Amino acid sequence: MSRCLKSTVILAGIVLALTGCKQDETDKTWFSLDTTYFPFGADYEWYYYEYTRTFRDGQLVSADTQAYHVLVVDSSGTDSAWTFKLEGYFDDLPTTVQINADSIYVFLEGYYAKPGKTINVVKPETDTITDLFHKFSIEYAGETLEVKLTYATDKEGEVGSRCVSRLRGKGMVSQTFSFISPPDSQYLIDRVFFLRKGTDTIWF
């Protein structure tokens, strides 16, 4: 192989690793993470608004709105895996995201545990996992993938819930959190404002 051809092959491999593309070993076609519910790539950046409401005895005590972002600050890949390091985080993923072949591990934090499972990034299958305190589920609402958790504590009346909603090619479009500990309750909802992919910006 000539030096020029070797350089071309190496460069192509680097580009594919950084943009989240890989070869499917079964049918020898290519797919991009941008076609999945987990569209990660170098320098991808999501902006969100978080709305927080706190109540006591059913009366609004406080309300707050703030903006934040999640940014891919580093990425690497091989023929069979990708790693993306994040500034900020999504509720259903760690700050260092690892995708092996076509699989990713998702989880949500509950009471004394973080229930989760490994799912397919292209077409996650629905499933439900339950234990004494938690109900963790993978569901769909139309085209939206929902990673859900409901849980209780060992204190009477204390319950909580989390839900992360994802769309193909856009990733997390919203996530919610609620916690009730009578007489207090708190509700949070994060909604995506825009997603930046390099020079392209997707508004919501």
pLDDT (tens digit, 9 = 90+) per residue, 44-87?
999 999 999 999 999 999 999 999 999 999 999 887 899 999 99
- Comparing 4-8, 93-97, 120-124, 176-180, which segment has the lowest mean pLDDT? 4-8
CA proximity to 193, closest of 177, 176, 172: 172
Greatest CA separation for the chain: 75
Residue 204 has pLDDT above 50, yes or no: yes
How many angstroms separate the CA atoms of 68 and 47, rounded?
6
Looking at per-residue pLDDT, the higher value among 1 and 39 belongs to 39
Read off the pTM.
Answer: 0.84
Mean pLDDT within 142-156: 96
On average, the pLDDT of the chain sits at: 88
Burial class of 119 by CB neighbour count within 10 A (0 to 12, 13 to 18, 19+): buried
- Residues 10-30 have pLDDT tens digits of 333 433 444 555 544 343 335
Q: Give the distance, in angstroms, between the CA of residue 179 and the centroid of all CA atoms in the same chain.
A: 21
Residue 138 has pLDDT above 60, yes or no: yes
How many angstroms separate the CA atoms of 120 and 132, rounded?
27
- The H or E element spanning position 188 is strand 184-197
Per the listing, tokens 């000539």 go with: 2
